[in-house]
Amino acid sequence: MPAWIIWEKIPWEEVNDRISRKVVIRDRMMMVMYRFRGFTEWPEEKHKAEQGGYIIKGRILLKLPDEQQEMQLDPGNGYLIESNKRHSWKCLDEEVVFIDIFSPPRMELMKHKYAPNVARP
């Protein structure tokens, strides 16, 4: 894989009826461009990887329960989440596009595309 990423040339992969993604991955880093539709929420989770992100379109409400914090993030804003910190978010617009960056890569996201670390009934 070259050192540059041309997002327009990477096809969208459907995660479910409300979420699509584009994934690039290396040995120690993973980038995921997400497109969320219809005021989607990502459930609370935590994982080993550190996580950073950048909002491209729309707004999200990022929740960090361990710090008892919530923050609205708009296009141009970003975030950094430490390893093993609980977090969740809610899309505040009909369509939201952002890039998530994980180090190390979250291989569980490759197999279980949606919130793999969330306990399910």
Question: Which two three-digit tokens encode residue 63?
Answer: 């929740």
pLDDT at 115: 65
Q: What SS3 state is found at 67?
A: helix
> Prior bond to 104 cis, omega within 30?
yes
In this prediction the pTM is 0.90
Res. 14 pLDDT band, cuts 50 70 90: very high
Domains and CATH numbers, the chain: 13-105 (2.60.120.10)
Which pLDDT tens digit goes with each residue over 50-83? 999 999 999 999 999 999 999 999 999 999 999 9
